[in-house]
Amino acid sequence: MQFGVSTWLWTSPFTTATVALFPKIRQLGFDFVEIAIEDPSLIDGRVVRRALADHGLGCIGCGAFGPDRDLTHEDSKVHAGCLDYIARSLDLCAELGTTVFAGPMYSATGKRRLLPPEKRRAEWDLAVRNLRRACALAGERSIQLAIEPLNRFETDLVNTAQDACRLVDDIAHPAAGVMMDSYHMNLEERDNEQALRTVGRRLVHVQVSDNTRGCPGKGQVRWDAFKRGIEAAQEAGYRGGVAIESFTPEIQELAGAVCFWHPIEPSQDGFARDGLAFLKKLFASGRSEGR
């Protein structure tokens, strides 16, 4: 198992200068960096790829989808802008040497409404059509999309493993896959093991934090069930890693978006260090037995 960490744990937005974090990330013991691509124009892919290589780190690209990046918006001009952002992010991913671009790219994060069934179906169909276009862009660059379900407080469209699988199956493109995040799973799934089994072969990437969006192992998540689910996904073909994703209240704009009103841990470095130690122990403990 390879272990990574999101740059959002420390900073936002990621820029070329953020490579200053890479020595620390490597020293802490991580194998890869999840690079948060908020604005591709702020990132020189050649410089970042060289810094990754210098420190022996791999990477994953992760997108940010706000109101102006909404593939289910009523205005097709917003779709065009979002697809342009996805294309530029995919170009950057190719330059960085990663084959995965992840995120809740079907809609704008924070968009949540109670819609009548016919309106919901129309929005779903629009997401499918536009994500097929995104998949075509990804396929041209040999990159997979890892589409992430979010909890009900952050989206009304794709909340569960079952939702994500239905979306990917409706898209029906080889570049379409699923990312699962233990934080959202803890809010939406009845059984984390079964959720990961449901995703199975569709799984492309995994993010983790505990139920407070805090350090893995310091909350109420059933990590034994989570581990069994990952093992089942590996049997189905999953070859990706596990990345810690959380945030810091020090970055006020991002903190407001993700409702981080106070620090979760005394230090972000300690968060990363303790979380990685827990995950390494969890996955080094041998194969899980039954339920």
Mean of per-residue pLDDT scores for the chain: 96
Tokens representing 34 are: 């999840």
- pLDDT over 70 for what percent of the chain? 98
Among 218, 156, 217, 207, residue whose Cα is nearest residue 184: 207
pLDDT in tens, 20-43: 999 999 999 999 999 999 999 999
pLDDT in tens, 227-265: 999 999 999 999 999 999 999 988 877 778 888 899 999
Rounded distance between C-alpha atoms, residue 270 and residue 214, angstroms:
11
Domain residues of the chain, as ranges?
3-284
Could you tell me which CATH class the domain 3-284 is placed in?
A: alpha beta
Arithmetic mean of pLDDT, 41-55: 98
Other CB atoms within a 10 A radius of the CB of residue 263 amount to 13
Q: HEC profile for 99-152?
A: CEEEECCCCCCCECCCCCHHHHHHHHHHHHHHHHHHHHHHHHCCCEEEECCCCC
Rounded distance between C-alpha atoms, residue 283 and residue 206, angstroms:
14
Rounded distance between C-alpha atoms, residue 167 and residue 132, angstroms:
11
Residue 286: its pLDDT value, please? 72
Q: Is residue 290 over pLDDT 60?
A: no
Residue 223: its pLDDT value, please? 98
